[in-house]
C-alpha cells in the first residue's frame, strides 16, 4: 500500500502556454522507456472527464484497463478537481457549483452523497484531505485564500458550515499539497510563487502564518507542488526556471532546513511541469510536462533521490518517457506497480506504466485506454490508497 496523503490529490486547471518562452522552438530530443504488455493488476483509480462532466472509474485487470461497476459516474457540473480521503472511503469532486461528496464502495463504485447537493459552494481549483480525514483543504483561484472544511472522518460530511481560512500572497491558485506529517500546506500560486502555510489538524483553525517562496526565473510561474512520502523534500514545478528551449524546472527543498537542494532547479525536460509524483518508496520523483518546445506532446521526466550524511540529492534518469497530447496529471496505484498519466487532448486519454526491471526508475509503457467517449478532455486522476 502507498503511504502519504499526497496520493489522493488531483488537479484540473489547464494552463495556457502560447506565451511561454521557447514555445515555437524545435522539439528537444528525448528518449523513452520500454513498451509492451503486462499481466499485472492495479488498484482502483478515477479520472475527471471535463468535456462529458463525468468521473471514469477504472483499474487494470491482468493487463487490461477495465471499468468499475457503474462507471462512468455523472457529475452535477463541469469538474475542476478531486481528492480521495486517505482512509479510501470518500472522493470529493469540485465544480463551478461547489464540492460534491461521493462514497467509495467495497468494489470501488461511487455513490453521490448528500442527496446530490454540494457540501460547500466553493469552486476549488485544488484540494486534499489531511492525514486524519478531518479536514478538506482547498483553494479557489482568484480568492487569494486557502480554506479548510471540517469533515466527519466516518461519513465524509462537512461537520460545520464555517470554513477556516488563511490569506495567501497570491490569488492565481494552481495546486496545493499537504505534507504527509500534516504540518504544512504548500500552495502554487503562478507568478506569485509558492506559499508555505503551517497546519495543525487539532486546532479549530488549523492554519498558521503564511510565508512565500518567490519564483526562480523572471516571467516564471509555480504550477505544481508535492512532498515526498518520507517527509524529507518538498517540490515545486515552475515554468521559466531553467535555460534552453525547454525551460520548465523542478525545484527541491530540504523540509528540515527549508533550504533549496544543491543543483535545484533541475530541468524538467519540458515547458510546463504540470504534475509531480514522488514514488511511494521515496526513491524516485516523476514530473509530467504538459508539452515540450515546439510540440503538443508531453513527456515524463524522472529523478532518483539520494542521501549522504543527511544531505539530499536528485539525479536525472538517463531517459524521458513518452506521454500523450497535453498530459496534465500522474498517479501511482495502491499496489505500487503502476504509474498512470492522463492526457487532456488524448492520444490516448490514459497511459499506464510499470517500473522497468533492468533500468532502475525507468518507466515502461504497458497499457493505454480511453476514459470515455472521446473527446473527453481528461483533466485529473486520483488513485485509492
Calpha distance 66→369 (Å, rounded):
9
Cell numbers standing for residue 370? 480511453
Q: What is the pLDDT of residue 115?
A: 83
Calpha distance 56→285 (Å, rounded):
26
Radius of gyration (Cα) for the chain, nearest Å?
19
Calpha distance 286→123 (Å, rounded):
28
Q: How far is CA 345 from CA 24, 63, 133, 167, 297, in A?
A: 19, 24, 33, 34, 9
Calpha distance 158→339 (Å, rounded):
32
Q: What is the pLDDT of residue 322?
A: 96
Cell numbers standing for residue 189? 500560486
Calpha distance 102→111 (Å, rounded):
5
Cell numbers standing for residue 306? 539520494
Cell numbers standing for residue 32? 523513452
Query: Is 107 buried (19+), middle (13-18) or exposed (0-12) by CB count in 10 A?
Result: exposed
Q: What is the pLDDT of residue 260?
A: 98
Calpha distance 52→155 (Å, rounded):
28
Q: What is the pLDDT of residue 15?
A: 47
Calpha distance 108→340 (Å, rounded):
17
Query: Tens digit of pLDDT per residue, the chain (385 long)?
Result: 444 434 455 555 444 443 333 332 333 334 456 678 999 999 999 999 999 999 999 999 999 999 999 999 999 999 999 999 999 999 999 999 999 999 999 999 999 998 889 999 999 999 999 999 999 999 999 999 999 999 999 999 999 989 999 999 999 999 999 999 999 999 999 999 999 999 999 999 999 999 999 999 999 999 999 999 999 999 999 999 999 999 999 999 999 999 999 999 999 999 999 999 999 999 999 999 999 999 999 999 999 999 999 999 999 999 999 999 999 999 999 999 999 999 999 999 999 999 999 999 999 999 999 999 999 999 999 999 9
Q: How many CA atoms lie within 13 A of 378 on its CB side?
A: 33
Q: How many CA atoms lie within 13 A of 131 on its CB side?
A: 18
Give the predicted TM-score (pTM) of the model: 0.92
Calpha distance 351→161 (Å, rounded):
39
Q: Which of 20, 42, 79, 33 is nearest to 376 (CA)?
A: 79
Q: What is the pLDDT of residue 35?
A: 73
Q: Which residues of 239-251 are buried (b: 16+ CB within 10 A; e: fewer)?
A: bbbbeebbbbbbb
Q: In what order do the strands lie in the sheet with 311-325?
A: 273-278, 284-289, 297-308, 311-325
H or E element at residue 104 = strand 98-104
Q: How many helices (H) and strands (E) does the chain have?
A: 0, 31
Longest dimension (CA), the chain: 55
* β-bridge partners, 302: 286
Q: How many CA atoms lie within 13 A of 245 on its CB side?
A: 13
Amino acid at each position: 500500500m502507498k503511504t502519504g496523503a499526497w496520493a489522493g490529490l488531483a488537479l484540473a486547471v489547464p494552463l495556457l502556454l502560447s506565451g511561454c518562452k521557447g514555445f515555437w522552438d524545435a522539439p528537444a530530443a528525448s528518449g523513452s522507456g520500454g513498451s509492451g504488455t503486462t499481466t499485472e493488476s492495479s488498484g482502483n483509480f478515477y479520472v475527471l472527464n471535463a468535456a462529458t462532466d463525468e468521473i471514469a472509474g477504472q483499474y487494470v485487470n491482468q493487463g487490461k484497463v477495465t471499468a468499475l461497476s457503474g462507471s462512468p459516474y455523472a457529475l452535477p457540473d463541469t469538474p475542476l478537481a478531486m481528492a480521495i480521503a486517505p482512509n479510501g472511503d470518500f472522493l470529493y469532486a469540485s465544480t463551478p457549483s461547489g464540492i460534491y461528496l461521493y462514497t467509495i464502495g467495497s468494489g470501488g463504485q461511487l455513490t453521490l452523497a448528500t442527496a446530490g447537493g454540494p457540501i460547500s459552494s466553493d469552486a476549488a481549483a485544488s484540494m486534499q484531505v489531511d492525514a486524519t480525514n478531518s479536514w478538506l483543504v482547498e483553494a479557489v483561484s482568484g480568492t487569494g485564500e486557502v480554506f479548510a472544511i471540517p469533515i466527519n472522518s466516518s461519513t465524509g460530511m462537512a461537520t460545520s458550515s464555517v470554513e477556516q481560512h488563511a490569506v495567501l500572497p497570491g490569488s492565481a491558485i494552481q495546486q496545493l499539497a499537504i505534507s504527509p506529517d500534516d504540518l504544512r500546506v504548500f500552495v502554487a500560486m503562478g507568478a506569485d510563487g509558492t506559499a508555505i502555510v503551517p497546519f495543525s489538524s487539532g486546532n479549530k483553525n488549523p492554519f498558521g502564518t503564511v510565508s512565500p517562496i518567490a519564483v526562480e526565473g523572471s516571467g516564471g510561474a509555480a504550477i505544481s507542488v508535492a512532498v515526498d512520502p518520507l517527509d524529507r523534500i518538498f517540490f515545486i514545478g515552475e515554468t521559466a526556471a531553467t535555460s534552453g528551449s525547454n525551460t520548465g524546472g523542478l525545484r527541491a527543498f530540504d523540509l528540515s532546513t527549508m533550504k533549496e537542494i544543491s543543483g535545484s532547479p533541475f530541468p524538467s525536460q519540458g515547458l510546463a511541469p504540470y504534475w509531480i509524483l514522488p514514488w511511494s518508496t521515496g526513491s524516485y520523483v516523476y514530473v509530467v510536462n504538459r508539452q515540450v518546445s515546439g510540440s503538443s506532446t508531453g513527456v515524463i521526466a524522472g529523478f532518483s533521490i539520494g542521501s549522504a550524511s543527511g544531505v539530499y540529492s536528485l539525479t536525472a534518469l538517463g531517459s524521458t518517457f513518452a506521454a500523450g497530447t497535453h498530459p496534465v496529471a500522474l498517479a501511482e496505484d495502491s499496489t505500487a506497480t503502476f504509474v498512470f498519466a492522463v492526457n487532456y487532448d488524448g492520444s490516448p486519454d490514459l497511459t499506464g506504466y510499470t517500473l522497468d526491471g533492468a533500468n532502475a526508475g525507468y518507466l515502461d509503457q504497458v497499457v493505454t485506454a480511453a476514459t470515455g467517449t472521446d473527446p473527453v478532455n481528461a483533466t485529473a486522476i486520483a488513485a485509492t490508497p
